[in-house]
Every structure is written in structure tokens, then in C-alpha cells.
Amino acid sequence: MRRVRQLQREPRLIQGNLAMAEGALYAGYPITLSSEIASECARILPQSGGVYLQMEDEIASLAAVVGASLAGAKAFTATSGPGFSLMQENLGMAVMGEVPCVVIDVQRSGPATGLATKPAQSDIMQVRWGRHGDQAVIALSPSSAGECFCLMVQAFNLAERFRVPVVFAAEEIVAHMRENFVSPAPGEIEVVDRKAPQGPPGRCEPFARDAGAVAPVPAFGSGFVFHVSTSMHGPDGFSNNDPAVAAWKVERLHRKLDLHRDEIVMTREFYTDDAEVLFIAFGAVTRAARAAALEARKNGVKAGLLQLITIWPFPDREIAALAEKARTVVVPEMNYAGQAALEVRRILGPEKDIRRVNKYNGRIIAPRDVLAALDFPAK
């Protein structure tokens, strides 16, 4: 399965979870909030020569995904809450080995088993920092079923382009939502494949020093001979404990994302031209914030919305640019600590009027919750 599947052009009802399942090789372990992805993959992948693998746990699932990716597959897994916690170690392995893959985390209310069927956005910091060691990943957050489809293609593209795991941080609301969706025609969305080394097969350095910090990598079985390692390694993938090599490797893992930051960071603006009040939201909460902005405008408050499609790397420049014009910034999110608001505070400094809206009871944030952060009288 190397191409986006041929899909009907008629609008059809598509569930967020099912939109994420089209077009890849899958290994996973069932868990409520992402189970539809597993059953859809089990149904459609073997039809086109792909493989659905149900592994013994989430640790093994991501391991199999990394193995399959190194053999050349576009591979992904999907999970929720407890399963995402189990995946952290091998997510670190994927970062270290620079292995393209996509991990869907349908966020649910925690901690631990928590409210197993209810949404949350409380994994934002775990997505970024959940693993030990100096590392970085890319994370995207969809706000609709249609976005699930298109952003999944983007997620694979970014993973392939930058040889990095991409976390697809959805939440129960978007995952179980059904919406009309017209599939893009084949070729309409660009599909990126990782760069392979040129020339006749032979021994190759999969971590070769490269100005863009992303080296070409072959697939196992392509004739090229190469090593990939979880341990600290030099350009050839063999163990290397030299301090200079260790520093080079850690810098490279960060630099490849820093250098290409503008290709990675995606945001969307609604009514921001004259916005004095700026809502910053991601995932399903984007929808409530957008409705709230329209409602605020009816009440004479010039409100706008910045949707964070990429949540890691955090869209700092976009936030700073829009917030400069706004007197008040509101960050609604479905967690207790204000995980995204903390980042917004870091970017805008201690003086800025930043208001948090947090819900952590398994209920969705409604437009009125967002409006409650403003001083105008609610109707």
C-alpha cells in the first residue's frame, strides 16, 4: 500500500476513526477510542495486499511498526491513553533510529484507565516529553473527520520527509464524529516517500552527515546493507560513545525539525484580521472556539481564532504575531493544568492577559464555556 487508495468522489458519511485508517500498514492492540481503526484496517488492508497485525500489546505494536517501516512500509498504529503510555519507550527508539512512522493517540480522560470512553486533551505534554532523553517528535491535531483523512496523509508525509515519528493527537470527539466528506482524487494530495540512497546497492550510512540533517535511508531488502540502533551511534549506525558523536546525534534530532520548522508548523486563522480577543484552540475544541468567536462578534467583541493544526513543534511565531494585536488571549483546552496555555504563557510573557478555560470531567468544551472567559454579559 504505497498510494492513497482510490476513493469515491461522492460526499459520504465518514467517521473520524475510519478516515484515519485508509492507506497504510497497521499493527496495533485494541483499546476503546481507537478500535474502529483496527477493525477497518483488518478489513481493508488485506484486500490490497497490505497487512493488519494484531500484536500482544502496544509495546509490540509500535515495535512491529518500526520494523515494518525499516523494511519500507508506510506503517502506523493507533491507541488511546494507557496504550500511548506503553508506547513511549519504542517512540524513543523510533526517534533515535530516525524511523518514519505515525502513532495515532485518540486522547481519553485519565489518569490511568480513567473515563475510558470520554474525551480529553490531556496528553499534550506527554506527546512532547513522554519519553526519556533529549528527543523531539512532530504532532498534529485534527478538528474534523475530513481533517483526519487529509492530515493523516500529511502525517505520513512529514514522517517520511523528516524521518521522525509523527503523533496524531486526536480525541474521542473527532474520532467518533461522523461527517460528510468528499475524498480527494488520487494525486490531489501530494504523497511523499522517504529519500533512498542513489547508486548501486552496497554498504550505506543511514545517518550520513547532511546539511538538512535528514539523510537518505534504504529499506531492508533493497540490497543496501545498513545498521539502525537504539544505542548512541555514528553516521554508519554502529555503536559509538564518543562525546562529539553523541552531541552531533542529539543536535541532529532537533536540528532537522528546527531547520524545516516552517514546513512542519500548520495553523489556520478565523476572523483574526481585526481580532482584539484571540482564541487559541486545537482539535475538537477548535469548533467550540469558532462558534464562540462568532457569538462574541454578535455582542460587539472582535474575537478571532487561531487553530493549531501542528501542536509540536508549538506554533510560537504564529501565536506571537497574532497575540501582539490582541488585548486578551483565551486558551480553551480539555485538561486541568492548561498544558497548551503554559506554552502560550512562555511565548507571550508574564504581562499578557491570558485566560485559561479548562475542562477535565470528560465533557466537551462548549462555546459558552469559552465565552465565559470574556467580560461581556452572556445572554
Q: Pattern of binders to other proteins over 72-111, x per CB under 8 A?
A: xx-x-------------xx-xx---x--------------
Span from 16-24, 50-58, 175-183, 246-254 in contact with other proteins (CB under 8 A):
50-58
Q: Are 20 and 68 in contact (CB under 8 A)?
A: no
Q: Please state the closest distance from residue 29 (CB atom) to other proteins, in A.
A: 11
For other proteins, the binding residue among 30, 32, 35, 59 (CB under 8 A) is 59
Q: Please state the closest distance from residue 30 (CB atom) to other proteins, in A.
A: 15
List, in order, residues 6 or more apart from 21 with CB less than 8 Å away: 36, 37, 40, 41, 44, 78
Q: Is 258 in the site for other proteins (CB under 8 A)?
A: no
Q: Please state the closest distance from residue 39 (CB atom) to other proteins, in A.
A: 13
Which residue's CB is nearer to other proteins, number 43 or number 346? 43
Q: Say which amino acid occupies 112.
A: A
Q: Is 64 in the site for other proteins (CB under 8 A)?
A: yes
Strand partners, 26: 52, 76
DSSP state of 46: G
Q: Please state the closest distance from residue 90 (CB atom) to other proteins, in A.
A: 6
- C-alpha grid cell, residue 82: 494507557
Cα distance between residue 77 and residue 65, in whole Å: 7
Q: Pattern of binders to other proteins over 323-342, x per CB under 8 A?
A: --------------------
- C-alpha grid cell, residue 320: 506571537
Residue count, binding to other proteins (CB under 8 A): 48
Q: Please state the closest distance from residue 230 (CB atom) to other proteins, in A.
A: 5
Cα distance between residue 306 and residue 289, in whole Å: 9
Helix axes 316-325, 339-348, angle to 10 degrees: 70
Output the CA–CA distances (angstroms, integers) from residue 346 to 28, 227, 315, in the order listed.
36, 40, 12
Q: Say which amino acid occupies 320.
A: A
- C-alpha grid cell, residue 298: 454578535
Span from 60-68, 153-161, 178-186, 368-376 in contact with other proteins (CB under 8 A):
60-68
For the segment 179-208, give every residue that binds other proteins (CB under 8 A): 201
Q: Are 69 and 103 in contact (CB under 8 A)?
A: no
Q: Contact residues for other proteins (CB under 8 A)?
A: 25, 27, 43, 46-47, 49, 51, 53, 55-57, 59-61, 63-73, 75, 89-90, 92-93, 97, 201, 219-231, 237-239
